[in-house]
Amino acid sequence: MTEILISEVGPRDGLQSIKQVMPLEAKKAWIAAESAAGVKEIEVGSFVPPKLLPQMADTPELVEFAKGIEGLNVVALVPNARGAENAARAGVHGMSIPFSLSETHSIRNVKKDHPAMLAEIAKAAEIAKDAGIHFAVGLSTAFGCTIEGAVPEDTVVRLAVAAAEAGGQEFSLSDTTGYADPAQVKRLVRKVKAAVGDDMLTTLHLHNTRGLGLANALAGLEEGITTIDSSLGGLGGCPYAPGASGNLVTEDLVLMLNSMGYDTGIDLEKLLEVRSILTEALPDEPLYGFTPDAGPMLDYKERIAR
């Protein structure tokens, strides 16, 4: 079976988009329970100023806690070189920096245009290299922007190459606004891989704004993508892209991949139990996705064998 890494981004991308601050102990319980269900990588938070995102103020404590969980790859988002310094000090296993290919979104999100952001990527890459930390670049708004509209594919490719030259070790294509469709995903994955190398574009970060998240994930897998970001219950969105909502639902993604015979290493029944931690800590936040009320859980291996 083909092994696919599902990277849980809910503790960062999910929680940054809601007003309520999830208690630290609830976050720890969430991370521990997902790891116990078989999730191998979790983006536990972001190193941004607490005054801007108080939801992320406890990220250093979460990194310290998560590093104590055997077999878990602990990653965090950094918006700039200062964030990279803080992440390195905390001892993350990996860090990623968002590079919005819509310049308007970049300015609104991190207050930097493209040249300034490329300079930050170069500084952050050097910090990560010195610390022996894996450094990834998230190509945000790659499929379109709620502010600027369509982002030309040639622009995506050109800026991906520039980010690679600045020190990016690995890339993800991010559908920040949920605009992507499967044909566009296939086309853009091929173009970016051709420009930066097959082994450097590994990941898709998808939102489910228009209900195409799973279809887009499958399109990416057919083009050799091996990592998919998702959020438990579809929690989250982007606070700096008006109208963007809903991450790809982790439970739905696991259900689909397990049913198709992909190796995720995740036990869906245990994963569904994790939802109770969120509903208790965040009672006003709706959770989406698969529910066992539809019938008994499937024996995937038996079903595929038939």
Amino acid at 202: T
Amino acid at 248: L
How far lies 75's CA from each of 6, 32, 69, 104, 271, in Å?
A: 13, 15, 13, 27, 20
Q: Taking a C-beta distance cutoff of 8 angstroms, is the pair 225, 203 a contact?
A: yes
Amino acid at 209: T
d(CA 262, CA 298): 15
Residue 54, C-beta contacts closer than 8 angstroms, at least 6 positions apart: 21
Residue 275, C-beta contacts closer than 8 angstroms, at least 6 positions apart: 232, 233, 251, 287
d(CA 92, CA 37): 21
Alpha helices in the chain (DSSP H): 24-36, 59-66, 81-90, 103-110, 114-131, 153-165, 182-196, 213-222, 250-260, 268-281, 300-305
CA nearest neighbour of 147 among 117, 186, 179, 184: 179
Q: Which tokens in the block code for residue 98?
A: 């968002």
CA nearest neighbour of 212 among 187, 247, 241: 247
d(CA 210, CA 238): 15
How far lies 221's CA from each of 72, 126, 177, 256, 304, in Å?
A: 23, 31, 20, 12, 19
Supply the residues annotated as catalytic: 238
